[in-house]
Amino acid sequence: MVHRIVILGGGKGGTLAANRLRKAYGLNEASVTVVDQDDQHIYQPGLLFVPFGLTHSEDIVRPRGRQLHRGIDYRTSAIIHVDLAGQSVQLADGSELSYDVLVVATGAVLAPDETEGLTGPGWMEKVFTFYTPEGAAALEEALAVFDGGRLVVNVVEMPIKCPVAPLEFCFLADWYFHERGIRDRVELTFVTPLDAAFTKPVAANHLGGLLEQRGIELVTEFNTGEVDGTGGRLVSFDGREVPFDLAVVIPLHNGASYVARSEGLGDALGFVVTDTHTLQAAVAPNVFALGDAASLPVSKAGSVTHFEGEVLVENIRRFLDGEPLDASYDGHANCFIKTGFSKAMLIDFNYDVEPLPGHYPGLVGLPLLKESHLNHLGKLMFQWLYWHSLLPGRDIPGISSAMPLGGKLQALESNVKERVS
């Protein structure tokens, strides 16, 4: 019997899952089909660099189909809905795909229209987002002629893709305006719905301290209800206002629209309710989800998708073999945080352990929660690893899906002592 595996989404999650599954199964054992609405695979971490002229949109986009191994069927079509009872997917091109296993990997979708005024007057003139190639390119032009005033970076609501990216934008903006010699004429403000610079306390203290050190104002617990492009102000639901001359807004994120049209597949936001460890969807045993498409209590970050991928493929194998789903994802995530001036920070954490100081992946390695040139080089090198190692489904020596504790033991011990006392 040839198992029919259908993967919805040709981004990082869908691509690495397809490539790993293709290597795990022969052509006579399983068919692997990937579906996406276009053939543009975007290296999303690169979007952050476009507004500052550090890369160009065309340099971070490649054809989706070319990232897939031979023997994988790639279909370009929008998805209408998933028929869970009939185990099939209806596509916009009129075709229907039947499956034995379904993987949902269509990520998170920006929903700027859901915030009052965001796409109204001023949109792509004085109000921008760098979360799309078009937005990042337009913002590059706006920054190039910005000669002073109030620049506000605003996260409308969580969850968002790569939650540290807005912080990175603030740090890079600080560097950028220093390079142009006009930093003293620019007021930088980071506006977030969180009660601190980050979700975890130790990292929040480090990052909040760095914002203060760089002269970047932090506005917390600001739930954006309106973006007034004409008046140049953000308005929160409780009536507070933050004025701006140039706003960089990270819009609301939802799951893909077909998820909402597929009864029982997603939650209220369109993300797939998924077991936190096995990545099996709650709605059906032969449905799995990974990456930004999954409703998990973890950052929607590329590293999460990478670490989930190893677990997902093993549990699909176990499911098809009728075995218990013993492979377990521990919530492992890590993120480089570009801080400008050829430096970066690195955070590493999971469901149970918050980002702590130390080193990754062991006692000797990249410094954690500390600015360094080594982390800057790691951030730059990651793009090569992305195209040539992660997407093809290759293992990286010394890097496991499980979070390593070795480099954090001293910080863990100190953290425990503080809590006990």
Average pLDDT, stretch 350-357?
A: 96
pLDDT digits (tens, 9 = 90+) for 218-272: 999 999 999 999 999 999 999 999 999 999 999 999 999 999 999 999 999 999 9
pLDDT digits (tens, 9 = 90+) for 106-151: 999 999 999 999 999 999 999 999 999 999 999 999 999 999 999 9
CATH 3.40.50.720 for the 112-251 domain, yes or no: no
As a whole number of angstroms, the distance between CA 378 and CA 363 comes to 17
- pTM beyond cutoff 0.75: yes
**In the predicted model, is pLDDT for residue 409 greater than 90?**
no
Average pLDDT, stretch 350-369?
A: 95
As a whole number of angstroms, the distance between CA 125 and CA 174 comes to 21
pLDDT digits (tens, 9 = 90+) for 60-87: 999 999 999 999 999 999 999 999 999 9
- pLDDT band with cut points at 50, 70 and 90 for residue 396: confident
**In the predicted model, is pLDDT for residue 420 greater than 50?**
no
**In the predicted model, is pLDDT for residue 421 greater than 60?**
no
Contacts of 79 (CB under 8 A, 6+ apart): 8, 35, 37, 89, 90, 91, 92, 106, 256, 258
pLDDT at 1: 85
Q: Tell me the domain boundaries of the chain.
A: 3-109+254-320, 112-251, 333-420
pLDDT at 291: 97
Q: Among candidates 245, 242, 202, 203, which has minimal Cα distance to 220? A: 242
Give yes or no on whether 3-109+254-320 and 112-251 have one common fold.
yes
Q: Which CATH superfamily is 3-109+254-320 part of? A: FAD/NAD(P)-binding domain (3.50.50.60)
As a whole number of angstroms, the distance between CA 251 and CA 192 comes to 12
